[in-house]
Amino acid sequence: MLRIEGISKTYPPASGALRLLMRTASDVPVVALRDVSLTVAPGEVVGLVGPNGAGKSTLFRIVATLLEPTAGTVTVDGFDLVSHPEEIRRRIGLVLEGARGVYGRLSGFNNLEFFGVMAGLDHASARRRARELLEMFGLADRDRRVFGYSSGMRVRLALARALVADPPFLLLDEPTRSLDPAGSAETMTLIRRLADAGRAVLFATHRLDEVRDGCDRVVVLTSGRVRFDGAPAGADLVALMEQTP
């Protein structure tokens, strides 16, 4: 079980030098999450929806141990984020926003082989796992470089990468963002299959069709606050998405 309890996050103001470099950097603290709580159980697909800037990526970065929360706790199978980050990392597969995190100049096979070894598999197991995942995700043309992949293939490879160490929890940050409706439907089918195999999936999207059709539960996040947590059927998600502080 993934439990997120009372998570808040305030980004400190950017330093003067950083503000010069990044026009978007803020000179006041930015409150990205306010007292966010939610759970994801094995076998469950939970959709996290919210407009740009709602705090979705911040929440993913916190759960993936990349960013410390200002307040609140996260536990994964009872392990606490702050005291046992390595236990959390071992259990979580992460797909970053935009399905980045794979090497364009390597083939799909070499990417998965590399990340398998990085995850602690011996070389033979990493190669075996890479073949298995390429097969499973319909990427069996194993020598093709990722540069030449379509957006859909890139997303499938990013999912495969997240699965090299067979983690029971998946965090997918807008995996379908760059996909057409067919690619989105295909990704939702894959996500469902991964959950049916017993994994807990939390995935961010701003496509309401995906949460209506593909999720067991939907959590609506706007301005860093949870506005709704429940079954998508019957909820007026459009109205919920428009709530602000």
User: Which of Mg ion, ligand ADP, none does residue 52 bind (CB under 5 to 8 Å by kind)?
Assistant: ligand ADP
Helix 151-162 × helix 108-118 angle, to 10°: 20
User: Which of ligand ADP, Mg ion, none does residue 73 bind (CB under 5 to 8 Å by kind)?
Assistant: none
Q: How far is the CB of 33 from ligand ADP (least distance, A)?
A: 8
Site for ligand ADP, residues 20 to 49, rule: CB under 6 A: 26, 30, 32
Q: How far is the CB of 29 from ligand ADP (least distance, A)?
A: 9
> Contact at 8 Å (CB) between 200 and 43?
yes
Number of residues binding to ligand ADP, judged by CB under 6 A:
12
Under rule CB under 6 A, residue 110 binds ligand ADP: no
Nearer to ligand ADP, 61 or 217 (CB): 61
> Contact at 8 Å (CB) between 64 and 92?
yes
DSSP state, residue 145: B
**Of 90, 40, 98, which is closest to residue 65 (Cα–Cα)?**
90
Under rule CB under 6 A, residue 58 binds ligand ADP: yes
Under rule CB under 6 A, residue 178 binds ligand ADP: no
User: Which of ligand ADP, Mg ion, none does residue 29 bind (CB under 5 to 8 Å by kind)?
Assistant: none
| Bridge partners, residue 74, by sequence | 4
Residues near 198 by beta carbon (within 8 Å), at least 6 away in sequence:
42, 43, 168
For residue 189, give the H/E element and its range.
helix 181-196
Residue bearing tokens 């919210």: 50
Q: How far is the CB of 172 from ligand ADP (least distance, A)?
A: 12
Answer for which of 36, 45, 49, 55 binds ligand ADP (CB under 6 A) is 55
The C-alpha atoms of residue 141 and residue 36 are separated, in whole angstroms, by 42
Contact residues for ligand ADP, defined by CB under 6 A: 11, 26, 30, 32, 50, 52-58
